[in-house]
Amino acid sequence: MFARIITCGALLAALLLSGCSPREVPGPWLGEVTVVAAPAGPGSQYPHLAGGGQVPIVLSWLQAQPGGGVALQYATWRDGSWSSPGTVAAGTDWFVNWADFPSVVPVTATTWLAHWLQQRPGNVYSYDVCLSASGDAGRHWSPPASPHDDGTPTEHGFVTILADDGRARAVWLDGRRTGGGHDQGHGHGAPGAMTLRAATIGPDGRVMGTDEEIDPRTCDCCQTDGALTAEGPLVVYRDRGDDEVRDVAVVRLQDGHWSAPVAVHADDWKIDACPVNGPAVAARGRTVVVAWFTAPDQPRVRVAFSEDAGRTFAAPVEVASGDVLGRVDVVLLDDDRAVVSWLRQGPAGAEILAQPFNRSAATGAAVVVADTSVQRSSGFPQMASAGHGLLFAWTDSGEPPRLRTAYATLR
């Protein structure tokens, strides 16, 4: 999948910091960034944060196993610390990748859904999505099942699990039309492009009804993301036009049908490869905010708001440009400010930054949350709203790698 990645001017150079600890850098809108003991040990990497509000905040990650292989583990946030880790599943034949990472998502307080990627033999980029459900907040998990039944030895991944009024929906990039090749569909005799598909998932982790195609032509390996609005679920992803313009698009589920894709903004980023840099979305009521990376002329991070549940978006606000790596996340605060996090290349590696925005401008200075690495092994930093503050999680890409977490109070 990643043989033809565009790195935007060596932004992914192989630099590594010896210590990737948070910096105690206060800002006028954010208090001191404080290290929180992570629930994972050496060999942990690729965190994912989900939940909050009426459901617990769940941190999940991949943990290397002593005898080989990896396990999908998780912990919950309560009273300023993490619970002891639990395990969903483990295997020696999983597809493990810095950009396509598993998740554990609380659909309700007790109904959770997890996903990971199962390698198929014969081709490194042939793998399936596996889902497992828990009805008791992670104590027990169902046998794995796949949301797709095409049976093709192709790529299936970049999954988003959405909670939708007690139900779960899974959305993923599906390579059944690519014929097993990588970055197909350029119009040079390739069999087809990556597609976006979705399915409703039952309490046993299995598809209810059948999965369906949402978009017949998408970027190959950019993360998807989703949120629940007052008018139903919404998914953001990097679309792909016939002319290889790969701008971020949104689709909405209404009355049981997915809408046609709508561009969040016409960046007109034409690129003949996948940048491996997906968007992030958050929503409350009819307010939706999307953050994304683009590079039509130079690397940029942008954020845009919608007040009609994602039908239309205001002109984007420029978050940062130039020495940015992307790998964005976004949360929507109670006062409808959006906090965007992203990676910036620094003098000795990379920095995780966070900054608040309203619909037209920044409302505070950018704060350096932590030092990290530009290497792919540092993964995609995560951010979540927790009480009166923000939680952060990322991979310290040392040898061995290790999960790190931090917390900062909002001012």
Asked whether residue 177 carries a pLDDT value surpassing 60, the answer given is: yes
Model's pTM, two decimal places?
Answer: 0.92
pLDDT band at 1; cut points 50, 70, 90: very low
b/e map of 58-94 (b: 16 or more CB within 10 Å)? Answer: bbbbbbbeeeeebbbbbbbbeeeebeebbebbbbeeb
Q: How many residues are present in the chain?
A: 411
Beta strand segments in 181-297, E: 194-201, 207-218, 225-229, 232-238, 248-254, 257-258, 262-263, 280-284, 287-294
Asked whether residue 71 carries a pLDDT value surpassing 70, the answer given is: yes
Q: How far apart are CA 271 and CA 295, in angstroms?
A: 9
What mean pLDDT comes out for the span 379-399? 96
Q: Please report, for the chain, the start and end positions of each structural domain, with discontinuous segments joined by +.
A: 57-324
What is the reported pLDDT for 76? 98
What is the reported pLDDT for 150? 95
Asked whether residue 344 carries a pLDDT value surpassing 50, the answer given is: yes
Asked whether residue 45 carries a pLDDT value surpassing 90, the answer given is: yes
pLDDT digits (tens, 9 = 90+) for 241-272: 999 999 999 999 999 999 999 999 999 999 99
Closest Cα to residue 223, out of 263, 276, 179, 151? 276
What is the reported pLDDT for 124? 86
Q: How far apart are CA 56 and CA 50, in angstroms?
A: 8
Structure tokens at 154: 């192709």
Q: Is-contact 57 77, C-beta < 8 A?
A: yes
What mean pLDDT comes out for the span 365-374? 96
Closest Cα to residue 248, out of 260, 259, 261, 239? 239
What is the reported pLDDT for 122? 80
What is the reported pLDDT for 16? 31
What is the reported pLDDT for 180? 67
pLDDT band at 346; cut points 50, 70, 90: confident
* Residue with more model confidence, 145 or 1: 145
What is the reported pLDDT for 13? 34
Closest Cα to residue 312, out of 369, 249, 402, 358? 249
Cβ contacts of 96 within 8 Å, gap of 6 or more = 46, 62, 70, 117
pLDDT band at 217; cut points 50, 70, 90: very high
What is the reported pLDDT for 183? 53
What class is the 57-324 domain? mainly beta
What is the reported pLDDT for 28? 87
Q: Is-contact 404 352, C-beta < 8 A?
A: no
Instruction: Give phi and psi for 378, each to the nearest 5.
Output: -75, -15
Q: How far apart are CA 274 and CA 374, in angstroms?
A: 18
Asked whether residue 3 carries a pLDDT value surpassing 50, the answer given is: no
Asked whether residue 159 carries a pLDDT value surpassing 70, the answer given is: yes
pLDDT digits (tens, 9 = 90+) for 10-36: 333 333 333 444 544 445 899 999 999
Cβ contacts of 244 within 8 Å, gap of 6 or more = 186, 270, 271, 272
Q: How far apart are CA 52 and CA 159, in angstroms?
A: 19
Asked whether residue 352 carries a pLDDT value surpassing 90, the answer given is: yes
Q: In this predicted structure, which of 16-25, 124-133, 179-188, 288-297 has the lowest mean pLDDT?
A: 16-25
Closest Cα to residue 137, out of 90, 88, 103? 88
pLDDT digits (tens, 9 = 90+) for 196-212: 999 999 999 999 999 99
What is the reported pLDDT for 348? 82
